Amino acid sequence: MLFNKTVIIGTGLVGGSLGLALKEKHLVTQITGLSRHQKNAGLARKSGAIDYVGSSLEVVKDADLIVLATPIEAIIDIALKIAKKIKKDCIVIDVGSTKGSVVSKISPLIPNFIGCHPLAGSERKGAANLQKGIFNNSICIITPNVKTNKKILGKVVLLWRKLGSRVVILAPEKHDRILAFTSHLPHAVAFSLIGCIPTQYLSLSSGGLKDSTRISASDANLWSEVFLSNQRNLLSSLSAFQAKLAVLKLALERKNKKLLVNILSAANKKREKLG
């Protein structure tokens, strides 16, 4: 066992699936789950992701590990609320999609807080979609800051490795700069793409549109908070995307086939690297 008493706050897709995975790998002795939606926590208990449904934040008092798995604003809000309740050696992690604001706001109050971002979510949500295998063979980015205790960092790295994740360590700011391009921008694009298509045309689409907009089914509130918490970086990546789109549009306006082929060939080559 890596940890004894564990509390997961937010028993949705990522929090609940993490509970399942922690228990399957016998990494914790017991898990208490908390959710704004009592039904979600109940579902998580029934599926074996948690052992107990907590009734208030007081359950954090004797926890050895706390996982914050709510949308971004609630992560920060809850962290501030529990800061004075938790044991001194309790380790707190989150699984949110942006790290800069989370780490800078929580670290001063909870020294043993370490930001984590498992690249393992999906457009689905809720305790009805739990999958213990989502962390296996996926990447988990861990974002310590200069004050992070190395021993505690080692323990958190070990936790994710035991779940089968490949751990990448990045500064929170660098994480946000990169993920703005590789995750937040694709979401913003997908929401806009499906948004502009006349509803009556949707029945005449093929697999391309379906795949391209899969992530536009992602939770609206959760992703609004992701966007806002990484505002500057996302604005930069949006501008970079708009510039690329404008060049393609110009080539099309000018019927410049050579330029079009060049743009598309360069995209082909880059896409190959994604596998």
To a second copy, the closest distance from the beta carbon of 35 in angstroms equals: 20
To a second copy, the closest distance from the beta carbon of 164 in angstroms equals: 15
Interaction of residue 29 with a second copy, rule CB under 8 A: no
To a second copy, the closest distance from the beta carbon of 196 in angstroms equals: 4
* Residue 22 to residue 132: CA distance in whole angstroms: 8
To a second copy, the closest distance from the beta carbon of 175 in angstroms equals: 8
Interaction of residue 210 with a second copy, rule CB under 8 A: yes
CA triple 67-64-137, angle to 5 deg? 45
Burial of 246 from C-beta contacts in 10 A (0-12 / 13-18 / 19+): exposed
- Residues contacting a second copy: total by CB under 8 A: 85
To a second copy, the closest distance from the beta carbon of 42 in angstroms equals: 25
Interaction of residue 187 with a second copy, rule CB under 8 A: yes
* Residue 4 to residue 115: CA distance in whole angstroms: 20
The stretch among 10-18, 26-34, 50-58, 134-142 that binds a second copy (CB under 8 A) is 134-142
* Residue 16 to residue 126: CA distance in whole angstroms: 8
Among 36, 39, 46, 214, binds a second copy (CB under 8 A): 214
Which residues, including other chains, have CB under 8 Å from residue 120's CB and lie 6 or more apart? Answer: 14, 17, 134, 135, 138, 140, 165
To a second copy, the closest distance from the beta carbon of 222 in angstroms equals: 9
Interaction with a second copy in 165-184: which residues (CB under 8 A)? 168, 178-179, 181-183
Toward a second copy, which CB reaches closer, 158 or 240?
240
Per-residue contact string for residues 190-209; x = within reach of a second copy by CB under 8 A: xxxxxxxxxx-xx-xxxxxx
Interaction of residue 137 with a second copy, rule CB under 8 A: no
Among 122, 129, 131, 145, binds a second copy (CB under 8 A): 122
117: β partners: 141
- Residue 65 · residue 94 · CB < 8 Å: no
Burial of 75 from C-beta contacts in 10 A (0-12 / 13-18 / 19+): buried
Which residue, 80, 60, 86, is CA-closest to 7? 60
Which residues, including other chains, have CB under 8 Å from residue 171's CB and lie 6 or more apart? Answer: 143, 145
Toward a second copy, which CB reaches closer, 109 or 228?
228
To a second copy, the closest distance from the beta carbon of 139 in angstroms equals: 7
Burial of 269 from C-beta contacts in 10 A (0-12 / 13-18 / 19+): exposed
Interaction with a second copy in 82-121: which residues (CB under 8 A)? 119-121
